[in-house]
C-alpha cells in the first residue's frame, strides 16, 4: 500500500512583499480529491492564518491576503506592505486522515536589504572608520547564517536568538 507523501518548499524571492510557497509533494494519492490547506503563523504571532491550498502550484502570499494591509479600492494600483522578517511557521495539510507537513522558515528580506545598503554606503565612502562597520556587517552575516543553520537543525529558539542578535548589531552600524 502506498502512502500519501505531501511536501512544500518556500521559494526565495528576495522581495520583502512576497512569501512564495510551492507544492513539491511526490503524491497526494487518496487526498487527491480532498481539500488541502496552508496554515501560516507570522513571526511574533500565535494565530494561524488558514488558506485553501491549490495542489501542484506555487502560492504567493502578501500583506493583503495575510491580513496585514487592505486591498486598494477602485482601479488604483495595489501597493503591498513589506512582510515582517522573522520565523514563520508553515503547515500544509490535507483533510485525509490528518496528513500534514510542518516547517519553519526564516524570512530575512528586509534585513538583507539593509545590509546591502550599509555595504554600498561603506564601499562608496571608504575610510578607516568604515572598517569597524564592515566588521560588524560581516558579523551580522555570520549570525544570519547561524540562524538559518539552527533552523535547518530544528533549533527554533537558537535561530530566533541569533536572528535577533543580528538585527540589534546591524542597528548599531
| String of DSSP letters for 86-99 | EEEEEEEEESSTT-
SS3 (DSSP) at 75: coil
Does the domain at 8-107 match CATH 2.60.40? Answer given as yes
pLDDT tens digits for range 62-112: 999 999 987 777 667 778 999 999 999 999 999 888 899 999 999 999 999
| 61, 35 Cβ separation under 8 angstroms | no
Distance in angstroms (rounded) separating the CA atoms of residues 143 and 166 = 6
Strand partners, 61: 19
Q: Helix and strand tally (H, E) in the chain?
A: 3, 7
Residue ranges per structural domain of the chain:
8-107, 109-171
pLDDT tens digits for range 35-59: 999 999 999 999 999 999 999 999 9
Amino acid at each position: 500500500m502506498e502512502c500519501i507523501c505531501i511536501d512544500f518548499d518556500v521559494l526565495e524571492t528576495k522581495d520583502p512583499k512576497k512569501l512564495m510557497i510551492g507544492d513539491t509533494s511526490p503524491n497526494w494519492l487518496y487526498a487527491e480529491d480532498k481539500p488541502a490547506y496552508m496554515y501560516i503563523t507570522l513571526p511574533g504571532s500565535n494565530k494561524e492564518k488558514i488558506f485553501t491550498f491549490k495542489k501542484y502550484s506555487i502560492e504567493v502570499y502578501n500583506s493583503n491576503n495575510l491580513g496585514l494591509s487592505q486591498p486598494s479600492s477602485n482601479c488604483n494600483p495595489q501597493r503591498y506592505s513589506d512582510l515582517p522578517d522573522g520565523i514563520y511557521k508553515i503547515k500544509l495539510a490535507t483533510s485525509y486522515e490528518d496528513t500534514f507537513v510542518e516547517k519553519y522558515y526564516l524570512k530575512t528580506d528586509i534585513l538583507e536589504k539593509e545590509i546591502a545598503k550599509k555595504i554600498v554606503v561603506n564601499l562608496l565612502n571608504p575610510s578607516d572608520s568604515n572598517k569597524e562597520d564592515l566588521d560588524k556587517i560581516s558579523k551580522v552575516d555570520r549570525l544570519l547564517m547561524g540562524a538559518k543553520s539552527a533552523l535547518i537543525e530544528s533549533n527554533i529558539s537558537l535561530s530566533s536568538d541569533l536572528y535577533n542578535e543580528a538585527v540589534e548589531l546591524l542597528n548599531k552600524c
